[in-house]
């Protein structure tokens, strides 16, 4: 199981980049914001949405919460109790 306050492709790229490998039995919780970084290294809101779509396409059990905010821990902290309950449910 993995949780992240950012749906960064850097953290999760290995999960969907190798389609020939067996699927790992994991749950993934992602949180992103509409006003996150958009700079020379890429558009994070778009990358977060693409990661969620890739996880869905690959059949991973995941949840993606997309807020109005920007890159901060505030939204992640607010979601932490519910995200942990979702990640650790039977």
Are 32 and 6 spatial neighbours (Cβ–Cβ below 8 Å)?
yes
pLDDT of residue 65: 92
**CA terminus-to-terminus distance, the chain:** 12
Instruction: Walk along the chain (90 residues) and give the pLDDT tens digit of each residue.
Output: 444 555 554 445 455 556 666 777 889 999 888 988 898 988 999 999 999 998 898 889 999 999 888 767 888 889 999 999 999 998
Q: What angle do CA 52, 90, 16 make, to 5 degrees?
A: 25
Compute the distance between CA of residue 16 and CA of residue 31 in angstroms, rounded to an integer.
18
User: Helical H runs in 1-90?
Assistant: 9-16, 44-58, 73-87
In the Cβ-directed half-sphere of 36, how many Cα atoms lie within 13 Å? 24
What pTM was estimated for this model as a whole? 0.72
């Amino acid at each position: 199981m993995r949780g992240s306050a950012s749906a960064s492709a850097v953290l999760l790229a290995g999960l969907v980049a190798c389609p020939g490998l067996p699927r790992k039995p994991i749950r993934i919780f992602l949180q992103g914001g509409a006003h996150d970084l958009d700079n020379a290294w890429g558009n994070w809101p778009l990358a977060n949405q693409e990661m969620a779509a890739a996880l869905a396409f690959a059949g991973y059990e995941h949840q993606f919460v997309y807020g109005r905010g920007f890159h901060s821990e505030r939204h992640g902290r607010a979601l932490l109790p519910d995200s942990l309950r979702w990640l650790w449910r039977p």
